[in-house]
Amino acid sequence: MHKALFVAVNQNTDRGFSNLPNTLNDINEIRRILTEVPTTFENQNVNEFSGNHATNRILNLVVTDFFSDATEEDILFLFWAGHGYASNGEGYLVPYDGDSLRPDDSMIKMSNVRRWIETSRARVVICFFDTCHSGLLARSGDILRGLQIHGNGKVIFAACQDIQYAYDRNGHGAFTDYLIEGLTGGAADFNGNIDVYTLYSYISTRLTNEFRGEQVPVIHSSLSGSPVVIKRIESRQATTNKKHVITDAYFLLDTLITVYDSFNEEKQSVFRLVLDNPDQATEYTVRELYAKNQRHNSLPFAIRNQAYLVNFSDLSIESSSNGLKMTLELNKVEGKHESMSLGISYGGGYGSRTYTDDDIAKERAKLIIFGFTDATTQNKVSDSILQSFIFSPSNGSIKIDPNSKTGIGIVENLDKLGLDLIGIRVSLVNWLILTGTIEKIEKLVLNKKGNLVDVHLIGYRKKYYTNVDPVRIELIGQVQV
């Protein structure tokens, strides 16, 4: 079940704190965005507290129950706007009756909220705190475990660092104002997805620039696998006219790259694809892949910004006066790219540079996209050991074949085969993720200008330590096609 709790402490009993009328604007707008159709949050599972209902006693009871009553299948969303208070190194969320002279008795300790979040059984917890000193909520401790919409995890967004104040702009808290912009499309990636990476990057850049570093937001997370998609912006419509596809609705399954008519993840790690009136070549390939999968363990599968190894659980084919309908049911299987391997450092034999595991991954990304790396350019001496690390990742579910050029220079090679940029893109997603090169794609944009394709990739590596931010890989370049 998806459950949401909104708190706006817009009034205070004048015990050292002013009223904050903008907090009502904050929760009204965030609630509208969260619950507008299509949504997974139903109004009966969304609660809101403000004014003289936001007392210390009420909020303590409501917030503790919100986290403690959750089941392992629940997804929780908390948004809190109001005053924050710091005293003797302790952070507090200020309720309606908060008294600056008695913080321990009249306010809610941020450390308590942090503990409630940590001990909640909920599958996913997403929290936003637009208060002064809210960085104290996530200041210490590893409270975040493997965040993904179909996994287990928790993430906290705080409006500012622990010693900073949270400002207002445009009738909202400044943090919330940029959060609203991000959730309504500003932070959307190529596919219209807004996840915790893209959202934090969007908010942080704008807040930091506007307030010259005096308000810098905080995110604490330890993402493993695909991160939570907080909001989905449907910006493109699919068409069944296969001769003129104006959609991003491509998928890759082993050697097949084609358009789907509908896709859903019926439950965790179970995917269902429907193809209406596929052409004969697609129909034949799907049948072959189904037969092949009965003899082999798994097939690579990529869609949007995701890539997995899958098995066919079923293939149904219906023929009627309206044509042929193929329904593919796929089950995700665990791949090597999802496991954590020890980092590799390599130096010697290739100049004086030492390559870390993340350096090698960046070189592999260049190879996949552009067809070359710094270690394989013709005007430099080739290092066979370094190249073996690039071509054969230890944590890759698929490997690059230097002899057949499989997985090398995909943009140019697939363009020569007549595949359009959207089809090329889903192939890049497949190779970048399943080779273990990156874990999560924030941005992957391809634009064709004449015989040149501009490519911009932003991706994140798997984290080795929960308290260290994931390594970011960004590549910008051109491919001649």
Q: How far apart are the C-alpha atoms of 60 and 251, rounded to whole Å? A: 47
- The confidence score (pLDDT) of residue 323 equals 78
- The confidence score (pLDDT) of residue 302 equals 94
Residue 131 tokens read as 């208060």
- The confidence score (pLDDT) of residue 417 equals 78
φ/ψ of 91, rounded to 5, equals -100, 145
Cis upstream peptide for 217 (omega within 30°): no
Q: How far apart are the C-alpha atoms of 70 and 1, rounded to whole Å? A: 9
- The confidence score (pLDDT) of residue 27 equals 94
Supply the DSSP string of 406-454, one letter for each residue. BTSSHHHHHHHTT--HHHHHHHHHHHHHHTTS-SEEEEEEEEEETTEEE
**Chain-centre distance for alpha carbon 410:** 24
CATH match of 2-232 with 3.30.56.10: no
Q: How far apart are the C-alpha atoms of 376 and 389, rounded to whole Å? A: 12
DSSP assignment, residue 52? Answer: G
- The confidence score (pLDDT) of residue 442 equals 85
User: CA dihedral defined by 404, 334, 438, 312, rounded to 10 degrees?
Assistant: 60
Q: How far apart are the C-alpha atoms of 166 and 96, rounded to whole Å? A: 18
Q: How far apart are the C-alpha atoms of 280 and 271, rounded to whole Å? A: 23
Instruction: State the helix-helix crossing angle for 357-370 and 421-434, rounded to 10 degrees.
Output: 160
| pLDDT < 50 positions in the chain | 140-152, 223-224, 234-247, 349-350, 377-381
Q: Which is nearest to 27 in space by CA: 51, 56, 7, 54?
A: 7
- The confidence score (pLDDT) of residue 184 equals 75
Residue 267 tokens read as 């439950």
- The confidence score (pLDDT) of residue 190 equals 55
**Distance in Å from the first CA to the final CA of the chain:** 48
